[in-house]
Amino acid sequence: MTIPMALFKKKTKTVPPGAEKEKAEKPVASPKTETAHIGGSSNLAHVLISPRITEKASSHMALGVYAFDIDPDATKQSIAHAIYALYNVRPRAVRVVTIPKKVKRNSRTGKRGMTGGGKKAYIYLKKGETITLT
């Protein structure tokens, strides 16, 4: 049997007849676990830094949208796993927003400095589900 190797060229690779059966008999990888990995560790405590309690975030809580400050290296999947691990609710959607650094001037000394920046995440929950923030 020949298998085409290139998309636009006619190179082919010959496969011995017994090799196809070996390929099908290989064990399938296990499904993904419930923990996400950030930087090689499975610790989800560092993904969510703190809930973001502002006027805008408080008005969105009535609609089932919660805002959190997150680790800059966090992914949407790791955020969803951390929400499930800490609050025992599965998010419907996760949106991540980067907060840019800003140049500010110190009024006393006149020197310029930078604000922190970072990342925040909006967690969308299904209707009827809530998170108790303390």
What average pLDDT values come out for the chain (134 residues) when binned by 10 residues? Answer: 59 66 52 45 80 94 94 94 94 96 92 92 94 84
Q: What pLDDT does 30 receive? A: 45
pTM: 0.64
CA 95, distance to chain mean position in Å, is: 9
pLDDT at 33: 45
Q: Which domains does the chain have, with CATH numbers?
A: 44-128 (3.30.70.330)
